[in-house]
Each structure stands twice: as structure tokens, then as C-alpha cells.
Structure 1
Amino acid sequence: MQRKTLVLVVASLTVLASIGGASAAAFGAQGVDPDSGLGGLAQQTGGGLFGGDQLPDEVATFGGDPGWHVAVDDRSALEDWANSSDQREILSYDAEHNTSVVAAPASHIGTGYLDRLLGNGLHARDYVQSIAVVQEVDTPEPPEPVSRETFEAPDRGIIADLRGPSYATAGIAFTEDANRSTLAEARATINADATTADGSGVTVAVLDDGVTYDSTLYGNRIVDGHDFVADRDATAAGNWENVSSANGHGDWVASAIAANASNDSFVGVAPDAEILVGKTMGANGGTSADIVDGLRWANEHDVDIVSMSLGSQMYNAAIDAAVQDLVDNGTVVVIAAGNSAGQIPVGIASPADSLGEDPQQDGIITVAATNVTANASDAGVAHFSQRGPDPGAASTTFGATRGADPTVAAPGMEITAQTADGESTLSGTSMATPLVSGSAALLLDQHPDANVSEVEQRLAHGATPINGSGYHEVGAGMVDVEQALDTQPDPDTDYYADQREARIAAAADRDAIYETLAADARGRWASVQEAIGG
């Protein structure tokens, strides 16, 4: 199939912050201090009044020095800077996007408050657009099970509790509301079997901890692979061993998207789709640079869909910019909401907080998780699935918000898939996201000319409202493949309208509470930014 649009699916559970790899123009446009060009975490790395070289735990180091992603408009000038000290090294350079990964002490970058004030360090050079820290990325882990009895509602403070609605749990799915289900039951919830489309001719890149090859599941439909952690290619002749899954997470994701199992219980949503495997995490995780390399690789291969299971509470400007680059190139981006709903500040994880100029037709889709139910309208939002509105981490100033919410929901609790190592039962927005990825593959199979806006519009306007959930929890509702295939794009109508109308009183009250929490979190973000000299 000749590529018509690229769909990027990002899910889940890992921790990362500022990520390197975006183009200079896009990276410099948002999420960084407009005066210094430094991302928020970069200001904390060796920051403070007098600078120094203290490193937050998330920062990736190379030879003992932190890694930095530097966007420039003069490569030779950056090389001259690096060559002027033995403590500086350019680790890689992306000529197409004018970006480099650099290892250097924080003091050489000039992240301290006085350095920023006085214009000292690399950030002050006129050829530098922006600088972000290269992050360590943890491997995904499933969310902790929570029962209705042990659930603790978000703490809004005494004043908020006195003036606002109570937090009722009606419509939220807890551990006892999620029976172990098969992929067949999850497909039924999203109405994926009501079409003859099977994803044939659609290519899906899975960027994760790898995929272990199993001929009974994938036949010859794995068509390429690369290990970005160890920087080595994988081949069919080598049985794709270089990209085998480190922890089984990528195995589950790939199976949910495209397994063509002999047992219908374990058939993926798009069982004839082809797979490219980008291993961006190993047994001990990876780095943000590996992830961005994987995104670039998928783009170079003109794939139709990318499934990526990553996310964090902290906004990162560089990966957001990479997402925007993909959208600008005709890419639909589908991102998991995240699995830390009980944490403060409330809000969906990054890069799910990425939004374009028109959030309802920018091609960026955020996925919430529910339990598996026979009737989609009766589902409940998973207790761990992060909610909107985004509290401000996706803004340029940290004090404002673009208000990102989930776009749609899909099952993501206690679902069993067949992998090379046997049956695997997992929960998370990581599990909901490949179901949406597979749904997008079916849509592209039947409507290969659909552009980024049309893919988003069809999935959202075709969704089934979930009565017990708020639109900040599940967006437009449960994905319905049959309805998405038949729905005409409608950019003039709010695709949250039906979900907003269908929600019960408890869900409407929770939506109001999330809005209060987001407003409070915006204030905290502004305080943090002020405290670190932003």
C-alpha cells in the first residue's frame, strides 16, 4: 500500500521528561524558556542560583556527563564549541532536523540562574535554538490493582471540598469490575469484527521493548526491525532475534494490533497488517534519544501506523515537537492518556498532552482505558486512566494550559493476548492504545485516502458515549470501528458533545472536580517555574 497517512500510537506507563530529537524550528517553538531556549528540566539540571552539576535522577549520562539535545542552525559552530574542551562531545547529529545529542557538564551548557541572566554557556550562542535534557526511560510496568473500597479520591484541599461537588465513584471501573477477558471480547466491545477490513496493505511500526517473533502469529508479516538501544539491525534471516521483547510489553502490543492466531480468541484487531519492530527500550529501559531515533526511522520507512507505549507526568518539548513534525507531514498521532490517575497534579501524561492549533482535527488522538463490557455504553473508565484537562505542562509558560483531554477510549483492563511466550494478561492505557491503533489500520484499509483530520474525526464522531464517564475521562466515548468506518468527518461539530450529554450526574461532578484540580495545578506549575528562575 502506498503511504497515504502515518498513524503514530503512543501508550502508557514509562517515565520520561524532556526528550531530544525534534527539529530546530518546532522544538524551539514551545515548551522552552523563550529567553534562554532551555527546556524546564534542563533548567533544573545543574540549575539553581550558581549553577553546578547536580543531576535529577531522570537525566541520562554519557561518560559521566549529562546528555543534551541541541537544536542549531550552524553545525560547524557547534562542532567548534565541542572541540574546544575535552569534556564536550557530539554523540550524534541529525542533518535533516539540525539537531545533535551532546554530552557535556551542565556548567558548560549554562543552566544556572546567573548563567542564564548573564548569557553564559552554550544556550546563549546565537546559533542555538533550544536545548533539552536526554532522559532515561523506564520500561513499562502494569498499574497497581485498586478496589473500590481502597480507592482514595483526589485531595482538592479544604476550600475546594467545601465549595465543590463530592467525588462519587459511580462509573469508574476498579479491579473487581474487570474480569479476565480475551482479545476477542475486547474486539467485540469496540465492534471491530463488524467489517471485512483486516488491515491488509497497512504497515504498523511498533516502537516498544521489542517484539519476539512467532511465525504462527505473524508469518512473514514482520518486514523490518532495528534495535535502537544497542544500535543494530534485525533481519528475517536472523529470525528477528535482535529485536526480541525485553519484558513482554511490546509482544502484547504487537499481538493486539496484528496477531493472526489460529484461535479466534487471540486474533488482533488488524490481523493482516504488516509489522516493523523498533526496539527503543531494553531490559533496563532506554533513553529519549533512542525513542526519537525510532520515530525518525519509522518516518523514513513510510509506515502507515506507529504504536509506541511511552508516557510521563512531565511534559517534554522535544518529543512534542517530533509529534508535531509528524502531524505536519500528514501523520495521525494516537497517544495513551497514562496510568497515574491517582497522582497530583491531575492531568493526562506527556506526550498525550500534545495539541495542535485545532485539537479536534489536528490528527493527535489521546486514548483512555476502560474495562471490557458487552455494551460499550455500560463500560467504566479504568481507575488508573489519566484524565483531562491537562493542567499546563503542555504550555510554553507553565502558567497556562491547552487543556488536552482524552479523544476516545478503548478496553485496557485484564485483557489476554497470545505472544511467543504464551498467554499474557495485562492492564493499562498501553493495552487500550493498540486497540485504537488496530482500529485506525482497519479505517485506513477501507479509506486509504483519509487524511489526519478525517481519521480523528471518524474515530471520535463514531465513538459510543459511555454513560458513567465524564468527557474529561473518556473523551468522545468508546471507539466503535463499524461506526467509524461509516461516519463522515464533521469538523464543525464538537465531538465531545454526545459524551457530555450522556454522562450521569456523578460523572459530570467529577468533570467539574478535574477542572478545579487542573486550575490548582497550573498555579503550582507557575510557582515551580518561578522558583527555578523561569
Structure 2
Amino acid sequence: MFRREFIKAGAGATALIATPAFVPVPALGSHDTLTEFALSDPEIDPYGADHNPSFVGSYDDADDREAFEAWLEDDTDTGRIVREYDHLDQTAFTLSWSEAGVSQLWGGLEHRSGGLDDLTYLEFADANAILDHPEPIEPDDLVSESAFSLETGWLERQLLALELGQLDAEPDIDGLAFDDDAPESTLREARRLVGAGDGVLEDTNRGDGVTVIVIDTGIEDRSIYEDENGDRRIQPESTDFTSAGDPTVDENGIDTVSDADGHGDWVSACILADNDDDRYSGFAPEADLVTAKALDEDGGAVADIVAGVDLAIDVDADVICMSLGSPQWSEALADALEDAWDAGAFTVVASGNDRVGTTFTAHPASAEHGLPVNATNVPESGDRDDTQIANFGNVGPHPGTQDFSSGASEGAGPELAAPGMQIEIDPVGTLTGTSMAAPMVAGAAAVLAGEGHDNEAIHDRLLESAYPVEHFGVTESEYGLLDLEAALEGREHDDDQADVRSDSARTRDDFNEALSVSRGRLILRLF
């Protein structure tokens, strides 16, 4: 089984789309082609002088693709292709709402008929929504225990009380990491905590022959991304999908994927920096990097992120790192990750930084073919038994009812945890978030790929060798803490994560499971 035994199942993956899934869209008629997300009226990337919405459509084969493109050209006035994907059965296009089959009636009521729904060769049309930019958590923004408060409404609290059998239930925060629990740590100290110390990495090939793709805000041209001969390891296929024409490094130079934000640069350095100061060297400093710049200062569109996944397949990437996310499900992105998995890529995704708000694992961490990662501190003791889950990290089990996934995300939760609080990488900086934890796991995956393991073996080794920590609930990290040394050896620990949980961690699991049920019931009761 690929994942989710549990459900039989910010920086980084913050809550990125503002549209609440529990707001219904009044409508007459039905629509099978436009996804629930597309019809939820998210912020969709507009095209052309008329600012028509854009979508990502899926089809079965080349004939269906040609038929769809012919329909756009011959039977619509506004339809056109805006991006082709060479390795996915998808295409991005723009089309007016009326020609898509959605019209507004008096009083704001929608009527849905015809348009895309008449096209039997189109599997679905998903929103090319704009995702907010993942903001790292600055040191001054780290919260204390006293500032931790879960955002719940009155009705949700009543349902939660019924589920738990107690009034005014709150999660037990004993064992979560807050500001005082997260001293600034070097990347080396973070690596040591997860079985990737200098001695362990010296005995591996350190990513030689491995290709990693980072779908993020770009990268800076630094010496830490050069090999021993001074040649750049940032590959010429690296592309800026946020600019017209998708310029590449090969065409326009390394500044094409420059990172004005620093987020993607940090993520890339965590995985494969080769620093003269070993305190700041990454997991796989001999790996090649392909940068897919799909986010800028203002965010990024689903079509651009999907383009990054398509590029990963094109360059035969071994590992994909996605420190991004959304509280809403994208069918286009979930399908793209499945295609990437089938092509041999192993994808790691940040779980989200919004535990007190949206709470549950963000998307695409909630998709079947992306391994979701939560963040931890690096305890001052350096003892992994003292490690604590970051207070902000999104958890499971996802109720599957509030994200337009039609239940596909149900039960999803973080499967691994890795350091993501106050991690320093010179010269990139010190950042906090599940965005910082995801590249720790991606770096470990790159090392395993360099040792000859395919994506299935990487997946199994990472989960089966995870180190159980008493402070972790299984809803916070189902398998435990990343342990690269054990994964390299194919060694399993004696206990499972569920077996070693403290009373507080068990209580949080009960709370998170009850909250998932109550939120699912809340949606059903309201609508």
C-alpha cells in the first residue's frame, strides 16, 4: 500500500487560498466537468483583455486533446490554450464563464449547462487558481504557549464537546514546541538530529547522479551550488514559469530563476548546499538541481506549479520538493503528482503552518502521491528523544469535507517530521516553517536515490525506519522522526510511533480525531 495506514488511511505550506470550502455556491443545473474547486469562485488567474478565467483540463489521450483544442478554436470566441504540458494528460486554457457553461441569473444565482460539460473527451476542468505566497515564520513571530489558541466557532465547539464528552475541550499542548523550545540551530545540527550527520553522509555518494527539482520561488547563483570543479549544479532546464514564455536558464542565464524572496533559495540550500563551512552543507551536495520558479512575491498559479511537475518528469527527476500548499484541493495538481510518481519521481510536500486555523494537512500534501512532512524543533540537548512537534504544523486526519476533494483527502495527515524551527543556513539565512522540514526529507530521499533506491523503496525505507518520539502524536507525524541512517541501513526501530506516545500526545490525537469528525459533521449539518 502506498500510504495512509493511519486512515485505512507561515514559511512553507501555509493556508494559501482564501476561499472557504464551507461556503456553498447557489446553482441551478449540474456540472460534471468543472471541478467543485473551479466552481467555488477562487481567485483564478485571468487572461486577455477581457480577463477571462483560466483552467487546467484533463483528457485521456492525444486524440481527445486534439478534439478539445479544435473545440476551443472552432466553437468558442474566447477559448485558447495558454500552456502545453508535454508529459501530462493536461492542458491549461482560458475561456469565458458563459462559454464554459456557467451563467449568472437574477439575484446572483448560477445556472450551469452546456459548454465544457458537453465535451465527453474532457475528464475535468480545474481552476487555475492563484495561490498566496508562502511566508516564512520570522524569529519575532514565533509564538509562546500562552499565545496558542485554536480558532473554533460556537457550533464547532458544541460538536467537539459531544465527540469528546467534555465541554470547552482544548488540545493538550504539553510536548509541542514553542518559541522557548526552538534555539537557533545550524543545518548540521538539524541533520544530526535526523541521522544525517557528517559521518553518515561521508559514507554515501551524497547525491552523485541524482536530479532534484525544487518547485518554489527560485534560487540565487551561489558558490554553494557549484561542484568541486566550480561548475554550476543548477541545471540549464531550470525555468521561470511565472514569466511569459517560460524562459529557461539555458536561454536567458541564471538570473532567469533569481529568487527575490529567499524561500526557494533556502529550500534548495537545505537539500544540496556544498558549503566551505560544513555546518551549512546540505544532505546531497553532489546532486544536480533543477529550479522550477512557480511562485513569485505575489504567489503562483496552479498551472505554473503543474508545469513544474511536468518539468520534473521531463528531466527524469529523482526527487521533487514542494514547500507550498493550499487548504483547497486541486484535481489538476493531484493528477500531476500521480503522473510524476508513475514516472519514478519521489515527491515531498510541506504539511502546512496553520494548525490553529485550517488545522488539517494542506494540499498537495493531502494528495496520495506526495509525502507530507511536519516540522519539529532542534532541542538544545541535541537528543532526538527530546524533539517536539512545532506548534504551527498542520495535522491529520483530514475530514475530506472542507477542501473540494470529494473525500479524496480524507484521513490525510503528516507521515514524517523533520526539523523546521530556527534553522540557520549561511549565507541564506534563518527560517522557520514546515517549508524548512520538507527539504530535510527531500534531501534524505536524494541520498537514498544516490544509493540506487527507486521511489517505492525510498518511500518504504523512510517510513519504516522513522524514529518514534514520545512527544509526537500519530496525527502529527504518523511514523515519527526522519532517520536517514536507519533508512540507509534498512533498519526498523523496535517500537512504532503509536506505541511510544506520551499521555499528552495521545490526548492530542484524540482531540485531532474528534475535531476532524466534528468538522465533517459541521459541513453536513449546515448543507
**Cα displacement string for residues 163-204 of structure 1 (whole angstroms, at most 9, x for unaligned residues):** 146521111001121111110110111120242112222111
Backbone CA RMSD of aligned residues:
2.9
**1:516 corresponding residue in structure 2:** 514
- Does residue 472 of structure 1 match 2:469? no
SS in 1 for 2:349: strand
| Letter paired with 1:222 | I
What pairs with 1:303-322 in structure 2 (closer than 5 Å)? 303-322=317-336
Pairs aligned (count): 477
Contact 1:336 1:367 in 2 (8 A): yes
- Does residue 145 of structure 1 match 2:142? yes
| Letter paired with 2:125 | I
**2:365 corresponding residue in structure 1:** 352
**2:7 corresponding residue in structure 1:** none
- Does residue 340 of structure 1 match 2:354? yes
| Counterpart among 175, 179, 195 of residue 175 in structure 1 | 179
SS in 1 for 2:195: coil
Cα 1:431/1:90, change in 2 over 3 Å: same
Contact 1:468 1:503 in 2 (8 A): yes
Question: How many angstroms does 1:92 deviate by?
Answer: 2.9
Query: How far apart, CA to CA, are the structure 1 residues paired with 2:72 and 2:323?
Result: 36
**2:239 corresponding residue in structure 1:** 226
What pairs with 1:256-271 in structure 2 (closer than 5 Å)? 256-271=270-285
Cα 1:171/1:364, change in 2 over 3 Å: same
SS in 1 for 2:375: strand
**1:358 corresponding residue in structure 2:** none
| Letter paired with 2:58 | A
TM-score by length of 1: 0.82
**1:371 corresponding residue in structure 2:** 377
Percentage identity across aligned positions? 31
| Letter paired with 1:41 | F
Question: How many angstroms does 1:290 deviate by?
Answer: 1.1
Query: How far apart, CA to CA, are the structure 2 residues paired with 1:398 and 1:232?
Result: 33
Question: How many angstroms does 1:336 deviate by?
Answer: 1.2
| Letter paired with 2:195 | N
Question: How many angstroms does 1:132 deviate by?
Answer: 0.7
Contact 1:60 1:134 in 2 (8 A): yes
| Letter paired with 2:410 | R
Question: How many angstroms does 1:400 deviate by?
Answer: 7.4
**2:341 corresponding residue in structure 1:** 327
SS in 2 for 1:223: coil
| Counterpart among 83, 105, 109 of residue 92 in structure 1 | 83
**2:25 corresponding residue in structure 1:** none
**Cα displacement string for residues 114-141 of structure 1 (whole angstroms, at most 9, x for unaligned residues):** 9998742222322322111101122220
**1:502 corresponding residue in structure 2:** 500
SS in 1 for 2:475: helix
What pairs with 1:33-52 in structure 2 (closer than 5 Å)? 36-45=32-41
TM-score by length of 2: 0.83
Cα 1:98/1:470, change in 2 over 3 Å: closer
Query: How far apart, CA to CA, are the structure 1 residues paired with 2:296 and 2:462?
Result: 33
SS in 1 for 2:53: strand
Cα 1:65/1:74, change in 2 over 3 Å: same
| Letter paired with 1:351 | P
Question: How many angstroms does 1:97 deviate by?
Answer: 3.8
- Mean CA deviation greater in 123-132 or 317-326: 123-132
| Counterpart among 184, 188, 191 of residue 187 in structure 1 | 191
**1:69 corresponding residue in structure 2:** 56
Question: How many angstroms does 1:236 deviate by?
Answer: 6.8
- Mean CA deviation greater in 363-372 or 500-509: 363-372
Contact 1:395 1:402 in 2 (8 A): no
| Letter paired with 1:179 | P
**1:251 corresponding residue in structure 2:** 265
SS in 2 for 1:65: coil
- Does residue 435 of structure 1 match 2:440? yes
| Letter paired with 1:442 | V
Contact 1:13 1:309 in 2 (8 A): no
Query: How far apart, CA to CA, are the structure 2 residues paired with 1:378 and 1:435?
Result: 19
Cα 1:104/1:265, change in 2 over 3 Å: same
Question: How many angstroms does 1:245 deviate by?
Answer: 0.8
Contact 1:182 1:415 in 2 (8 A): yes
Contact 1:394 1:401 in 2 (8 A): no
Cα 1:443/1:396, change in 2 over 3 Å: same
Question: How many angstroms does 1:527 deviate by?
Answer: 6.1
Cα 1:96/1:307, change in 2 over 3 Å: closer
**1:385 corresponding residue in structure 2:** 393
| Letter paired with 1:514 | N
Question: How many angstroms does 1:473 deviate by?
Answer: 0.5
Query: How far apart, CA to CA, are the structure 2 residues paired with 1:522 and 1:398?
Result: 12
Question: How many angstroms does 1:525 deviate by?
Answer: 4.4
